[in-house]
Structure 1
Protein backbone atom coordinates (compact mmCIF):
# COMPACT_ATOMS: atom_id res chain seq x y z
CA UNK A 1 0.00 0.00 0.00
CA UNK A 2 2.82 2.41 0.86
CA UNK A 3 4.42 1.73 -2.52
CA UNK A 4 1.12 2.11 -4.38
CA UNK A 5 0.69 5.55 -2.81
CA UNK A 6 3.72 6.73 -4.82
CA UNK A 7 2.35 5.76 -8.23
CA UNK A 8 0.36 8.96 -8.90
CA UNK A 9 3.34 11.08 -7.83
CA UNK A 10 5.72 9.24 -10.17
CA UNK A 11 3.26 9.66 -13.03
CA UNK A 12 3.03 13.38 -12.27
CA UNK A 13 6.82 13.72 -12.17
CA UNK A 14 7.27 11.93 -15.50
CA UNK A 15 4.86 14.38 -17.13
CA UNK A 16 6.09 17.46 -15.28
CA UNK A 17 9.80 16.88 -15.95
CA UNK A 18 9.59 15.24 -19.38
CA UNK A 19 12.82 16.04 -21.20
CA UNK A 20 14.69 17.08 -18.05
CA UNK A 21 16.47 13.89 -16.97
CA UNK A 22 18.17 15.33 -13.90
CA UNK A 23 15.01 16.93 -12.55
CA UNK A 24 13.08 13.68 -13.02
CA UNK A 25 15.74 11.66 -11.19
CA UNK A 26 15.79 14.13 -8.31
CA UNK A 27 12.00 14.22 -8.09
CA UNK A 28 11.92 10.43 -8.03
CA UNK A 29 14.43 10.38 -5.18
CA UNK A 30 12.19 12.68 -3.13
CA UNK A 31 9.03 10.72 -3.97
CA UNK A 32 10.73 7.52 -2.78
CA UNK A 33 10.69 8.97 0.75
CA UNK A 34 6.90 8.67 0.89
CA UNK A 35 7.09 4.90 1.35
CA UNK A 36 9.32 4.89 4.48
CA UNK A 37 7.35 7.85 5.89
CA UNK A 38 4.04 5.97 5.62
CA UNK A 39 5.48 2.74 7.00
CA UNK A 40 7.22 4.45 9.92
CA UNK A 41 3.98 6.23 10.81
CA UNK A 42 1.95 3.03 10.52
CA UNK A 43 4.33 0.95 12.62
CA UNK A 44 4.61 3.70 15.24
CA UNK A 45 0.83 3.95 15.60
CA UNK A 46 0.38 0.18 15.77
CA UNK A 47 3.09 -0.32 18.37
CA UNK A 48 1.76 2.53 20.51
CA UNK A 49 -1.95 1.69 20.29
CA UNK A 50 -1.91 -2.11 20.15
CA UNK A 51 1.32 -3.12 21.88
CA UNK A 52 1.69 -0.14 24.22
CA UNK A 53 5.30 0.19 23.12
CA UNK A 54 7.32 2.98 21.57
CA UNK A 55 8.96 2.67 18.18
CA UNK A 56 12.08 3.93 19.95
CA UNK A 57 12.81 0.35 21.09
CA UNK A 58 13.91 -0.43 17.53
CA UNK A 59 16.62 2.25 17.61
CA UNK A 60 14.92 4.04 14.72
CA UNK A 61 14.72 7.45 16.40
CA UNK A 62 18.36 7.57 17.45
CA UNK A 63 20.05 10.07 15.06
CA UNK A 64 23.57 8.99 15.97
CA UNK A 65 22.59 5.34 15.76
CA UNK A 66 21.10 5.95 12.32
CA UNK A 67 24.35 7.17 10.82
CA UNK A 68 26.50 4.57 12.52
CA UNK A 69 24.02 1.81 11.71
CA UNK A 70 23.65 2.61 8.03
CA UNK A 71 27.41 2.90 7.53
CA UNK A 72 28.11 -0.14 9.70
CA UNK A 73 25.53 -2.29 7.91
CA UNK A 74 26.86 -1.16 4.54
CA UNK A 75 30.43 -1.94 5.54
CA UNK A 76 29.56 -5.38 6.86
CA UNK A 77 27.48 -6.49 3.89
CA UNK A 78 30.08 -5.12 1.48
CA UNK A 79 32.41 -7.85 2.78
CA UNK A 80 29.87 -10.51 1.85
CA UNK A 81 29.09 -8.95 -1.54
CA UNK A 82 32.76 -8.52 -2.43
CA UNK A 83 33.50 -12.13 -1.47
CA UNK A 84 30.50 -13.34 -3.47
CA UNK A 85 31.53 -11.38 -6.56
CA UNK A 86 35.07 -12.72 -6.27
CA UNK A 87 33.74 -16.29 -6.25
CA UNK A 88 31.39 -15.50 -9.12
CA UNK A 89 34.31 -14.15 -11.15
CA UNK A 90 35.54 -17.76 -11.30
CA UNK A 91 32.30 -19.73 -11.49
CA UNK A 92 30.21 -17.33 -13.60
CA UNK A 93 31.93 -16.00 -16.76
CA UNK A 94 31.63 -12.25 -17.38
CA UNK A 95 29.10 -10.92 -19.83
CA UNK A 96 31.75 -9.41 -22.06
CA UNK A 97 29.23 -8.23 -24.62
CA UNK A 98 26.81 -6.78 -22.06
CA UNK A 99 26.58 -3.01 -21.61
CA UNK A 100 27.01 -1.44 -18.22
CA UNK A 101 23.86 -1.83 -16.16
CA UNK A 102 21.33 0.95 -16.66
CA UNK A 103 18.49 1.86 -14.38
CA UNK A 104 15.45 3.52 -15.85
CA UNK A 105 13.43 6.26 -14.21
CA UNK A 106 10.30 6.49 -16.29
CA UNK A 107 11.76 6.80 -19.76
CA UNK A 108 15.07 8.19 -18.51
CA UNK A 109 18.35 6.31 -18.53
CA UNK A 110 20.47 7.15 -15.50
CA UNK A 111 23.60 7.02 -17.62
CA UNK A 112 22.47 10.37 -19.03
CA UNK A 113 22.45 12.04 -15.59
CA UNK A 114 25.38 13.39 -13.55
CA UNK A 115 27.12 10.77 -11.43
CA UNK A 116 26.42 12.63 -8.18
CA UNK A 117 22.66 12.60 -8.76
CA UNK A 118 22.80 8.96 -9.82
CA UNK A 119 24.58 8.00 -6.61
CA UNK A 120 22.04 9.94 -4.55
CA UNK A 121 19.20 8.21 -6.39
CA UNK A 122 20.72 4.74 -5.83
CA UNK A 123 21.41 5.39 -2.14
CA UNK A 124 17.92 6.73 -1.47
CA UNK A 125 16.31 3.86 -3.36
CA UNK A 126 18.44 1.13 -1.80
CA UNK A 127 18.65 2.34 1.79
CA UNK A 128 15.50 4.38 2.43
CA UNK A 129 13.00 2.94 -0.04
CA UNK A 130 14.01 -0.74 0.03
CA UNK A 131 16.11 -1.27 3.14
CA UNK A 132 14.55 0.80 5.91
CA UNK A 133 10.81 0.00 5.50
CA UNK A 134 11.27 -3.76 5.23
CA UNK A 135 13.78 -3.93 8.05
CA UNK A 136 11.65 -1.73 10.31
CA UNK A 137 8.80 -4.20 9.87
CA UNK A 138 10.72 -7.47 10.11
CA UNK A 139 13.77 -6.65 12.25
CA UNK A 140 12.18 -3.79 14.19
CA UNK A 141 8.49 -4.31 14.86
CA UNK A 142 8.36 -8.11 14.51
CA UNK A 143 11.54 -8.55 16.54
CA UNK A 144 9.91 -6.65 19.39
CA UNK A 145 6.81 -8.88 19.35
CA UNK A 146 8.77 -11.96 20.52
CA UNK A 147 11.81 -10.17 21.91
CA UNK A 148 12.12 -12.44 24.97
CA UNK A 149 12.91 -15.44 22.73
CA UNK A 150 15.64 -14.26 20.34
CA UNK A 151 16.24 -17.54 18.52
CA UNK A 152 12.54 -18.03 17.88
CA UNK A 153 12.32 -14.43 16.73
CA UNK A 154 15.19 -14.91 14.31
CA UNK A 155 13.63 -18.12 12.96
CA UNK A 156 10.07 -16.94 12.33
CA UNK A 157 11.00 -13.54 10.95
CA UNK A 158 13.48 -15.20 8.59
CA UNK A 159 10.82 -17.60 7.30
CA UNK A 160 8.28 -14.79 6.89
CA UNK A 161 10.73 -12.42 5.17
CA UNK A 162 11.97 -15.11 2.81
CA UNK A 163 8.48 -16.34 1.93
CA UNK A 164 7.14 -12.94 0.87
CA UNK A 165 9.92 -12.74 -1.72
CA UNK A 166 8.34 -15.58 -3.68
CA UNK A 167 6.55 -12.76 -5.51
CA UNK A 168 9.78 -10.87 -6.27
CA UNK A 169 10.82 -10.42 -9.88
CA UNK A 170 14.55 -10.95 -10.33
CA UNK A 171 14.77 -12.56 -13.75
CA UNK A 172 13.34 -15.95 -12.78
CA UNK A 173 12.35 -18.19 -15.69
CA UNK A 174 10.87 -21.23 -13.94
CA UNK A 175 9.37 -22.43 -10.68
CA UNK A 176 12.78 -23.72 -9.62
CA UNK A 177 14.25 -20.27 -10.30
CA UNK A 178 11.73 -18.66 -7.97
CA UNK A 179 12.80 -21.06 -5.21
CA UNK A 180 16.54 -20.61 -5.79
CA UNK A 181 16.10 -16.83 -5.86
CA UNK A 182 14.99 -17.06 -2.23
CA UNK A 183 18.64 -17.60 -1.28
CA UNK A 184 19.14 -13.83 -1.50
CA UNK A 185 16.31 -12.80 0.89
CA UNK A 186 17.21 -15.75 3.13
CA UNK A 187 20.75 -14.42 3.44
CA UNK A 188 19.50 -10.85 3.92
CA UNK A 189 17.20 -11.98 6.73
CA UNK A 190 19.80 -14.02 8.58
CA UNK A 191 22.40 -11.28 8.35
CA UNK A 192 19.89 -8.55 9.24
CA UNK A 193 18.60 -10.58 12.17
CA UNK A 194 22.13 -11.19 13.42
CA UNK A 195 22.88 -7.47 13.28
CA UNK A 196 19.65 -6.66 15.11
CA UNK A 197 20.39 -9.14 17.90
CA UNK A 198 23.92 -7.81 18.18
CA UNK A 199 23.13 -4.09 18.15
CA UNK A 200 19.43 -3.73 18.95
CA UNK A 201 19.40 -1.02 16.25
CA UNK A 202 17.29 -1.52 13.13
CA UNK A 203 19.50 0.90 11.14
CA UNK A 204 22.24 -1.75 10.99
CA UNK A 205 19.83 -4.17 9.32
CA UNK A 206 18.63 -1.41 6.98
CA UNK A 207 22.20 -0.60 6.00
CA UNK A 208 22.97 -4.25 5.25
CA UNK A 209 19.73 -4.69 3.31
CA UNK A 210 20.31 -1.61 1.20
CA UNK A 211 23.94 -2.57 0.75
CA UNK A 212 22.90 -5.72 -1.10
CA UNK A 213 21.02 -3.65 -3.68
CA UNK A 214 23.91 -1.22 -3.99
CA UNK A 215 26.34 -4.12 -4.30
CA UNK A 216 24.30 -5.69 -7.08
CA UNK A 217 24.26 -2.40 -9.01
CA UNK A 218 27.96 -1.67 -8.51
CA UNK A 219 29.04 -5.25 -9.15
CA UNK A 220 27.03 -5.44 -12.34
CA UNK A 221 28.85 -2.37 -13.64
CA UNK A 222 32.37 -3.30 -12.49
CA UNK A 223 32.20 -6.97 -13.51
CA UNK A 224 28.93 -7.89 -15.28
CA UNK A 225 27.77 -11.45 -14.69
CA UNK A 226 24.60 -13.39 -15.35
CA UNK A 227 22.34 -12.84 -12.35
CA UNK A 228 20.81 -16.29 -12.31
CA UNK A 229 20.65 -19.35 -10.02
CA UNK A 230 24.42 -19.54 -9.50
CA UNK A 231 24.72 -15.86 -8.56
CA UNK A 232 21.64 -15.95 -6.30
CA UNK A 233 23.04 -18.96 -4.46
CA UNK A 234 26.54 -17.55 -3.99
CA UNK A 235 25.29 -14.11 -2.87
CA UNK A 236 22.85 -15.71 -0.44
CA UNK A 237 25.44 -18.09 1.01
CA UNK A 238 27.95 -15.27 1.51
CA UNK A 239 25.43 -13.38 3.64
CA UNK A 240 24.37 -16.49 5.53
CA UNK A 241 27.97 -17.32 6.41
CA UNK A 242 28.63 -13.80 7.67
CA UNK A 243 25.36 -13.81 9.62
CA UNK A 244 26.21 -17.13 11.27
CA UNK A 245 29.63 -15.79 12.32
CA UNK A 246 27.99 -12.72 13.91
CA UNK A 247 25.36 -14.90 15.62
CA UNK A 248 28.02 -17.21 17.05
CA UNK A 249 29.97 -14.25 18.40
CA UNK A 250 26.82 -12.64 19.83
CA UNK A 251 25.72 -15.88 21.49
CA UNK A 252 29.14 -16.47 23.01
CA UNK A 253 29.12 -12.98 24.53
CA UNK A 254 25.57 -13.48 25.80
CA UNK A 255 26.51 -16.72 27.54
CA UNK A 256 29.47 -15.10 29.24
Structure 2
Protein backbone atom coordinates (compact mmCIF):
# COMPACT_ATOMS: atom_id res chain seq x y z
CA UNK A 1 0.00 0.00 0.00
CA UNK A 2 1.30 3.43 -0.98
CA UNK A 3 0.69 4.92 2.48
CA UNK A 4 3.32 2.55 3.88
CA UNK A 5 6.02 3.82 1.51
CA UNK A 6 8.62 5.87 3.41
CA UNK A 7 8.10 9.30 1.84
CA UNK A 8 4.31 9.10 1.97
CA UNK A 9 4.34 7.60 5.46
CA UNK A 10 6.47 10.49 6.76
CA UNK A 11 4.36 13.15 5.04
CA UNK A 12 1.12 11.62 6.28
CA UNK A 13 2.54 11.43 9.80
CA UNK A 14 3.31 15.15 9.64
CA UNK A 15 -0.25 15.86 8.47
CA UNK A 16 -1.74 13.60 11.15
CA UNK A 17 0.35 15.33 13.83
CA UNK A 18 -0.94 18.74 12.77
CA UNK A 19 -4.53 17.51 12.52
CA UNK A 20 -4.37 16.04 16.04
CA UNK A 21 -2.79 19.21 17.44
CA UNK A 22 -5.19 21.65 15.82
CA UNK A 23 -8.26 19.50 16.47
CA UNK A 24 -8.12 20.84 20.02
CA UNK A 25 -6.03 23.96 19.66
CA UNK A 26 -7.64 25.35 22.81
CA UNK A 27 -5.45 22.93 24.76
CA UNK A 28 -2.45 25.01 23.74
CA UNK A 29 -3.86 28.29 25.09
CA UNK A 30 -2.16 29.95 28.05
CA UNK A 31 -3.32 28.07 31.20
CA UNK A 32 -5.15 31.00 32.82
CA UNK A 33 -7.50 31.48 29.85
CA UNK A 34 -9.58 28.31 30.22
CA UNK A 35 -11.06 26.31 33.10
CA UNK A 36 -8.97 23.27 33.97
CA UNK A 37 -11.70 20.80 32.96
CA UNK A 38 -11.91 22.32 29.48
CA UNK A 39 -8.17 21.98 29.03
CA UNK A 40 -8.40 18.34 30.15
CA UNK A 41 -11.17 17.66 27.63
CA UNK A 42 -9.19 19.38 24.88
CA UNK A 43 -6.12 17.31 25.73
CA UNK A 44 -8.12 14.09 25.62
CA UNK A 45 -9.51 15.12 22.23
CA UNK A 46 -5.98 15.52 20.86
CA UNK A 47 -4.99 12.04 22.03
CA UNK A 48 -8.22 10.43 20.82
CA UNK A 49 -7.91 12.02 17.38
CA UNK A 50 -4.37 10.64 17.09
CA UNK A 51 -5.59 7.18 18.12
CA UNK A 52 -8.44 7.35 15.61
CA UNK A 53 -6.15 8.38 12.77
CA UNK A 54 -3.70 5.55 13.50
CA UNK A 55 -6.49 2.97 13.79
CA UNK A 56 -7.95 4.05 10.45
CA UNK A 57 -4.52 4.10 8.83
CA UNK A 58 -3.58 0.64 10.01
CA UNK A 59 -6.96 -1.06 9.52
CA UNK A 60 -8.12 0.54 6.29
CA UNK A 61 -4.94 1.45 4.44
CA UNK A 62 -2.03 -0.81 5.43
CA UNK A 63 -3.94 -3.69 7.11
CA UNK A 64 -1.52 -4.14 9.98
CA UNK A 65 -2.36 -5.04 13.57
CA UNK A 66 -2.43 -2.52 16.38
CA UNK A 67 0.27 -4.52 18.17
CA UNK A 68 2.83 -3.03 15.78
CA UNK A 69 2.62 0.36 17.49
CA UNK A 70 3.84 -1.29 20.75
CA UNK A 71 1.30 0.30 23.08
CA UNK A 72 0.05 -2.65 25.08
CA UNK A 73 -1.54 -2.24 28.51
CA UNK A 74 0.54 -3.96 31.19
CA UNK A 75 2.55 -3.31 34.33
CA UNK A 76 5.67 -3.59 32.20
CA UNK A 77 4.33 -0.81 29.98
CA UNK A 78 3.85 1.36 33.08
CA UNK A 79 7.43 0.69 34.08
CA UNK A 80 8.68 1.63 30.63
CA UNK A 81 6.73 4.88 30.72
CA UNK A 82 8.10 5.80 34.14
CA UNK A 83 11.62 4.87 33.03
CA UNK A 84 11.39 7.21 30.05
CA UNK A 85 9.92 9.98 32.18
CA UNK A 86 12.65 9.68 34.78
CA UNK A 87 15.46 9.67 32.22
CA UNK A 88 14.13 12.72 30.40
CA UNK A 89 13.39 14.65 33.58
CA UNK A 90 16.87 13.96 34.94
CA UNK A 91 18.45 15.05 31.65
CA UNK A 92 16.48 18.30 31.41
CA UNK A 93 16.93 19.25 35.06
CA UNK A 94 20.66 18.60 34.75
CA UNK A 95 20.81 20.80 31.65
CA UNK A 96 18.93 23.61 33.36
CA UNK A 97 20.99 23.35 36.53
CA UNK A 98 24.13 23.59 34.41
CA UNK A 99 22.81 26.73 32.75
CA UNK A 100 22.00 28.25 36.14
CA UNK A 101 25.46 27.38 37.47
CA UNK A 102 27.00 29.06 34.41
CA UNK A 103 24.86 32.18 35.03
CA UNK A 104 23.15 31.62 31.67
CA UNK A 105 19.75 31.00 33.32
CA UNK A 106 17.92 31.62 36.56
CA UNK A 107 15.29 29.51 38.28
CA UNK A 108 11.68 30.72 38.07
CA UNK A 109 9.62 29.80 41.16
CA UNK A 110 6.20 28.37 40.36
CA UNK A 111 4.76 30.39 43.23
CA UNK A 112 5.44 33.50 41.20
CA UNK A 113 3.10 32.72 38.32
CA UNK A 114 -0.07 33.55 40.26
CA UNK A 115 -1.76 30.15 39.71
CA UNK A 116 -2.41 27.51 42.41
CA UNK A 117 0.33 24.89 42.39
CA UNK A 118 -2.11 22.00 41.92
CA UNK A 119 -3.58 23.64 38.84
CA UNK A 120 -0.12 24.25 37.41
CA UNK A 121 0.82 20.59 37.86
CA UNK A 122 -2.38 19.26 36.28
CA UNK A 123 -2.26 21.79 33.44
CA UNK A 124 1.36 20.96 32.71
CA UNK A 125 0.56 17.23 32.69
CA UNK A 126 -2.29 17.79 30.23
CA UNK A 127 -0.02 19.70 27.88
CA UNK A 128 3.00 17.42 28.35
CA UNK A 129 1.27 14.05 27.99
CA UNK A 130 -2.21 14.39 26.48
CA UNK A 131 -1.48 17.16 24.00
CA UNK A 132 2.12 16.34 23.06
CA UNK A 133 3.73 13.23 24.51
CA UNK A 134 1.12 10.54 23.85
CA UNK A 135 -0.33 11.59 20.46
CA UNK A 136 3.01 12.54 18.92
CA UNK A 137 4.79 9.40 20.09
CA UNK A 138 1.90 7.20 18.96
CA UNK A 139 2.26 8.69 15.48
CA UNK A 140 6.06 8.89 15.25
CA UNK A 141 7.64 6.21 17.44
CA UNK A 142 4.58 3.95 17.27
CA UNK A 143 2.97 3.86 13.85
CA UNK A 144 5.63 5.45 11.65
CA UNK A 145 8.50 3.53 13.25
CA UNK A 146 6.64 0.28 12.66
CA UNK A 147 5.89 1.14 9.01
CA UNK A 148 9.45 2.19 8.20
CA UNK A 149 10.83 -0.80 10.10
CA UNK A 150 9.36 -3.09 7.46
CA UNK A 151 11.81 -1.66 4.96
CA UNK A 152 14.83 -0.37 6.91
CA UNK A 153 16.91 -1.38 9.92
CA UNK A 154 16.51 0.13 13.40
CA UNK A 155 19.40 2.58 13.06
CA UNK A 156 18.16 4.03 9.79
CA UNK A 157 14.60 4.33 11.11
CA UNK A 158 15.85 6.05 14.26
CA UNK A 159 17.83 8.58 12.21
CA UNK A 160 15.05 9.32 9.72
CA UNK A 161 12.25 9.65 12.26
CA UNK A 162 14.40 11.88 14.49
CA UNK A 163 15.32 14.26 11.66
CA UNK A 164 11.78 14.36 10.25
CA UNK A 165 10.37 14.99 13.72
CA UNK A 166 12.84 17.82 14.20
CA UNK A 167 12.01 19.39 10.84
CA UNK A 168 8.32 19.39 11.76
CA UNK A 169 9.18 21.93 14.45
CA UNK A 170 10.06 24.51 11.82
CA UNK A 171 6.39 25.48 12.06
CA UNK A 172 6.28 25.45 15.87
CA UNK A 173 5.42 28.65 17.68
CA UNK A 174 7.48 29.58 20.68
CA UNK A 175 9.86 32.10 22.19
CA UNK A 176 12.58 31.46 19.60
CA UNK A 177 13.52 34.51 17.57
CA UNK A 178 15.83 34.86 14.58
CA UNK A 179 17.34 32.27 12.29
CA UNK A 180 19.87 30.99 14.82
CA UNK A 181 17.31 30.23 17.53
CA UNK A 182 14.92 28.63 15.04
CA UNK A 183 17.71 26.35 13.80
CA UNK A 184 18.67 25.45 17.36
CA UNK A 185 15.04 24.73 18.17
CA UNK A 186 14.83 22.27 15.27
CA UNK A 187 18.10 20.64 16.38
CA UNK A 188 16.78 20.37 19.92
CA UNK A 189 13.54 18.78 18.66
CA UNK A 190 15.63 16.34 16.63
CA UNK A 191 17.52 15.41 19.80
CA UNK A 192 14.19 14.91 21.58
CA UNK A 193 13.06 12.63 18.75
CA UNK A 194 16.34 10.74 19.02
CA UNK A 195 15.92 10.22 22.77
CA UNK A 196 12.32 9.07 22.30
CA UNK A 197 13.31 6.74 19.48
CA UNK A 198 16.17 5.33 21.53
CA UNK A 199 13.74 4.61 24.37
CA UNK A 200 11.43 2.84 21.93
CA UNK A 201 14.30 0.82 20.51
CA UNK A 202 15.81 0.03 23.90
CA UNK A 203 12.61 -1.24 25.51
CA UNK A 204 10.48 -2.32 22.56
CA UNK A 205 7.68 -0.16 23.99
CA UNK A 206 6.32 3.13 22.68
CA UNK A 207 5.29 3.91 26.26
CA UNK A 208 8.97 4.53 27.02
CA UNK A 209 9.01 7.13 24.22
CA UNK A 210 5.84 8.70 25.64
CA UNK A 211 7.60 8.88 28.99
CA UNK A 212 10.65 10.61 27.52
CA UNK A 213 8.54 13.11 25.60
CA UNK A 214 6.25 13.80 28.54
CA UNK A 215 9.16 13.94 30.98
CA UNK A 216 10.87 16.58 28.85
CA UNK A 217 7.86 18.89 28.96
CA UNK A 218 7.05 18.15 32.62
CA UNK A 219 10.57 18.94 33.78
CA UNK A 220 10.90 22.21 31.91
CA UNK A 221 7.34 23.20 32.81
CA UNK A 222 7.37 22.38 36.52
CA UNK A 223 10.97 23.40 37.25
CA UNK A 224 11.32 26.30 34.79
CA UNK A 225 14.54 28.14 34.08
CA UNK A 226 14.58 31.58 32.46
CA UNK A 227 17.59 31.95 30.15
CA UNK A 228 19.54 35.11 29.49
CA UNK A 229 19.77 33.87 25.91
CA UNK A 230 17.40 31.17 24.68
CA UNK A 231 20.17 29.69 22.53
CA UNK A 232 22.10 28.64 25.64
CA UNK A 233 19.16 26.73 27.09
CA UNK A 234 18.31 25.11 23.75
CA UNK A 235 21.90 23.97 23.38
CA UNK A 236 21.90 22.54 26.92
CA UNK A 237 18.67 20.64 26.28
CA UNK A 238 20.06 19.31 23.01
CA UNK A 239 23.20 17.95 24.63
CA UNK A 240 21.27 16.44 27.55
CA UNK A 241 18.73 14.71 25.32
CA UNK A 242 21.43 13.39 22.99
CA UNK A 243 23.40 11.97 25.91
CA UNK A 244 20.22 10.40 27.31
CA UNK A 245 19.48 8.78 23.95
CA UNK A 246 23.00 7.44 23.61
CA UNK A 247 22.90 6.10 27.16
CA UNK A 248 19.70 4.21 26.35
CA UNK A 249 21.24 2.71 23.22
CA UNK A 250 24.59 1.80 24.74
CA UNK A 251 23.40 0.28 28.02
CA UNK A 252 23.25 -3.52 27.72
CA UNK A 253 23.08 -3.54 23.92
CA UNK A 254 22.49 -7.29 23.83
CA UNK A 255 18.99 -6.69 25.20
CA UNK A 256 17.97 -4.18 22.54
CA UNK A 257 14.78 -5.15 20.80
CA UNK A 258 13.83 -4.44 17.22
CA UNK A 259 11.57 -1.42 16.92
CA UNK A 260 9.33 -3.48 14.63
CA UNK A 261 8.63 -6.05 17.34
CA UNK A 262 5.49 -5.44 19.30
CA UNK A 263 5.58 -5.48 23.08
CA UNK A 264 3.83 -8.41 24.73
CA UNK A 265 1.68 -7.78 27.81
TM-score (norm 2): 0.78
1:175 and 1:69 mapped to 2: Cα distance? Answer: 37
Return 5+ residue gaps in structure 1 as ranges: 11-20, 103-108
Contact 2:202 2:255 in 1 (8 A): no
Partner of residue 78, structure 2: 67
2:103 and 2:214 mapped to 1: Cα distance? Answer: 24
Contact 1:190 1:243 in 2 (8 A): yes
Q: Deviations over 1:204-241 (max 9, x none)?
A: 11111111111111231xx5434601110111111101
Partner of residue 185, structure 1: 189
Q: Does 1:38 align with 2:38?
A: no
Give runs of aligned pairs for residues 78-227 of structure 1, distance below 5 A.
Answer: 78-95=89-106, 100=109, 111-112=114-115, 114-148=116-150, 149-220=153-224, 223-226=225-228
Question: Per-residue deviation at 1:119?
Answer: 1.4
Contact 1:110 1:118 in 2 (8 A): no
Question: Per-residue deviation at 1:168?
Answer: 1.5
2:114 and 2:40 mapped to 1: Cα distance? Answer: 16
CA-based RMSD of the aligned residues comes to 2.8
2:162 and 2:93 mapped to 1: Cα distance? Answer: 23
What SS does the aligned partner of 2:175 have? coil
Q: Deviations over 1:59-95 (max 9, x none)?
A: 3242434432332211111221122122111234444
Question: Per-residue deviation at 1:250?
Answer: 5.3
1:212 and 1:186 mapped to 2: Cα distance? Answer: 13
2:81 and 2:255 mapped to 1: Cα distance? Answer: 23
Question: Per-residue deviation at 1:23?
Answer: 7.9
2:217 and 2:106 mapped to 1: Cα distance? Answer: 19
2:139 and 2:240 mapped to 1: Cα distance? Answer: 24
1:181 and 1:23 mapped to 2: Cα distance? Answer: 28
Q: Does 1:228 align with 2:230?
A: yes
Q: Deviations over 1:128-172 (max 9, x none)?
A: 211011111110011101225111110110111010011122312
TM-score (norm 1): 0.81
Residues 63-72 or 80-89, more deviating: 63-72
1:47 and 1:239 mapped to 2: Cα distance? Answer: 31
Distance 1:92 1:163, change over 3 A: farther
2:178 and 2:33 mapped to 1: Cα distance? Answer: 37
Return 5+ residue gaps in structure 2 as ranges: 1-18, 258-265
Distance 1:94 1:177, change over 3 A: closer
Q: How many residues align?
A: 235
